[in-house]
Structure 1
Amino acid sequence: MKTILSTQNKYIKELVSLKDKSRQRKKSGLFLIEGVREVSLALKGNYTIRSILFYPELFSVEALTNLINNTKIEVIEISKEVYEKLAYRSTTEGIIAVAETKNHDISNLTLTTKTPLILVAEAPEKPGNIGAILRTADAANIDAVIIANPKTDLYNPNIIRSSVGCVFTNNIATGSTEAIIAFLKANNINIYSAILQESVPYHTQDFTKPTAIVVGTEATGLSEDWRVNATQNIIIPMQGEIDSMNVSVAAGILIFEAKRQRQFK
């Protein structure tokens, strides 16, 4: 087992760069995972873990041994100063993993059911919203989450934190709006776009068939391509003074209506 005590160590500096810079994550194909649950879910999601760094005052060798379960992962003991340099969260658990990113291009998306339920989110920017969407998708156990025209690195520490690791439990794809629409049509998946124009209340539609529910940002909504290519545009009827709601809340309402119709199968 290696030990690193100095924050000036070259490897530690590289990891700090992974934590702070999206460009470095994309260049290296690596990212950091912080937290016991998050690392556990990444292992369950078949992510390749290059190394695990732990601070023994917070996370014991015994707990680490149980976590990695005899897998061949490099283990590095680190000092309190090194851990605090790498840790993103104020509530600490003493463990950080270095993992390989996955290729999430829409061309690699595989669906395992004939009647998939998919959530498409176009151009979400706020990591907190993306994390909340991924938590909802995991709770509903839907078949895929597709992010169109992504504005934020999927392995941003804020997304991992706010999704409580659900970034590792969902079947996720990314791509341009044009490529995603082509994928959905090629697979005969009905498109229900949450948009004001030419829309009907969401609960009037049949979501038991192959279904993609598409949501946009609160600021700009969905692009025109989703309106004209939709099987049906849908709205959530609003009874207050404003005409929009948080995208993750809207996604939750629509997804669980589809799950209700499918009798939560």
Structure 2
Amino acid sequence: MNENFDPLLSSVQNDKVKHWASLLDKKNRDRSGQFLIEGVHLVLEALRGQASVLTIVYDTDRGIPEELKLERETNDSEATLGLEWVQASRAVMAKCTGTDTPPPVFAILTKLSPDSSALYRKNCLVVVLDNVRDPGNAGTIIRSADSVGADAVILGKGCVDLYNPKTVRSTMGSLFHLPIIEADLKELLPQARAKGVTLVGTSLQAKHTCYSYDWKQSTWLLMGNESEGLSPIVRDLVNESVIIPMVGQAESLNVAMAATVLLYESLRQREFNK
């Protein structure tokens, strides 16, 4: 394919451009069922992760990034069927990404359709977020869950929107690697307990450290709000509580760091302590 034949959009008043820019707001993402990703790495991860990519828009002055040129020539997966390539002016790139320094490329995707069958897999490991509102924390936890091979991540009501551009960037593409399910925890957690899943939270009063708890069993790890922890309703459903031991003088770890410590202990027990 020759990029010279790709349509060029130069005006920020173009209807397509207005629609793409509107995806920076959650209400428009919800209404359209679409979201926007920025940068070469995320676009590559979306294509390779079989996400439903609708349109790829690149800066006409810089041309298609080399990595994407190769992907365009070689990728014949379902992700690229009917895929539209568009070149755009720097003003359009800036309007649609909301950043001071526009990326060389962005893409429009259909929202993900996660497979929930992994939630109750034998010896499953699932991360559950309860009112985690910071996009950087949520994205980092999703990335950590991906890195240890967790089966899924669940975002309870009150969490930051998965498709918030800052959340998407923070995942570094991990949102395309494992199911991320948005759900009502009041309904889902009792179902998990009924199916034999252990719900694990963190507590300063816990009898177990995270190193003495058996992470090899079917476990959902519950992580709460940055300042308030787990909500009372969710806390009442916890089966087991663990504490991360601290020997220095730091008062606490932030929620993303704490989740990562716990996830890597689960990985150590599951894969390196057999």
- Paired residue type of 1:228: D
Tell me how far apart the structure 2 counterparts of residues 52 and 244 of structure 1 sit (CA, whole Å).
Answer: 42
Q: Quick check: 1:28 aligned with 2:35? A: no
Q: Give 1:86's aligned amino acid.
A: C
Q: Which residue of 2 aligns with 1:81?
A: 91
2:152 matched to which residue of 1? 144
| Unpaired runs of at least 5, structure 2 | 1-5
Deviation at 1:91, TM superposition (A): 5.4
Distance in 2 between residues matched to 1:76 and 1:125, nearest whole Å: 34
* Aligned counterpart, 1:263: 271
The whole-number CA distance in structure 2 between the counterparts of 1:232 and 1:196 is 12
Question: Structure 1: how far apart are the matches of 2:66 and 2:271?
Answer: 43
CA distance in 2, matches of 1:5, 1:232: 57
Alpha carbons 2:135, 2:160 under 8 Å: kept: yes
Instruction: Kindly indicate whether the alpha-carbon contact (under 8 Å) linking 1:59 and 1:93 is maintained by their aligned counterparts in 2.
Output: no
Equivalent residue number for residue 172 of structure 2: 164
Does 1:110 pair with 2:114? no
> Is the deviation greater in 220-229 or in 72-81?
220-229
Instruction: Specify the code of the residue in structure 2 equivalent to 1:23.
Output: K
Superposed CA RMSD in Å reads 2.2
Task: Tell me, in whole angstroms, the C-alpha distance in 1 between the residues paired with 2:158 and 2:117.
Answer: 19
> Which whole-Å deviations, capped at 9, do the CAs of 1:31-57 have from their partners, x for residues lacking one?
111111111212233221111111133
1:189 aligns with 2:194: no
Question: Aligned-pair distance for 1:261?
Answer: 0.7
Residue 30 and residue 148 in structure 1: after superposition, are their counterparts in 2 closer, same or farther (change >3 A)? Answer: same
Write the distance in 1 (CA, Å) between the matches of 2:65 and 2:266: 45
Bigger shift: residues 190-199 or 140-149: 190-199
**Following the alignment from structure 1 to structure 2, what is the Cα–Cα distance between the partners of residues 149 and 44?**
29
1:100 paired residue number: 110
Cα distance in 2, alignment partners of residues 240 and 84 from structure 1: 45
Cα distance in 1, alignment partners of residues 235 and 38 from structure 2: 39
2-side partners of 1:262 and 1:174: how far apart? 26
**Separation in structure 1 between the aligned mates of residue 186 and residue 43 of structure 2, nearest angstrom:** 34
Return the offset for 1:196. Answer: 3.0
More deviation in 137-146 or 225-234?
A: 225-234
Cross-structure match for 2:19: 14
Moved more, 149-158 or 127-136: 149-158
The match for 1:135 is: 143
- Conserved 8 A contact 1:38-1:165: yes
Residues 1:217 and 1:242: Cα distance change in structure 2 (over 3 Å): farther
**In 2, distance between residues paired with 1:175 and 1:10?**
33
The verdict on how the C-alpha distance between 1:124 and 1:250 changes in structure 2, with shifts beyond 3 A counting, is same
**Aligned pair in 2 of structure 1 residues 67, 93: CA closer, same or farther (>3 Å)?**
farther
The residue number in structure 2 matching 1:42 is: 46
Amino acid at match of 2:14: N
Contact 2:35 2:163 in 1 (8 A): yes
Cα separation, partners in 2 of 1:183 and 1:58, compared to 1, 3 Å: farther
Alpha-carbon shift at residue 103 of structure 1 (Å): 4.4
Q: How many residues align?
A: 261
Kept in 2, the 8 Å contact 1:193–1:226? The answer is: no
Q: What one-letter code is carried by the residue in structure 2 that aligns with 1:11? A: K
**Counterpart secondary structure, 1:110:** helix
Tell me the residue number matched to 2:70: 66
Assess if the C-alpha contact under 8 Å between 1:5 and 1:82 holds in 2: yes
TM-score, normalised with respect to structure 1: 0.89
Identity %: 32
Aligned-partner Cα distance in 2 for 1:64–1:205? 45
Amino acid at match of 2:94: E
- 1:90 to partner: Cα distance: 4.8
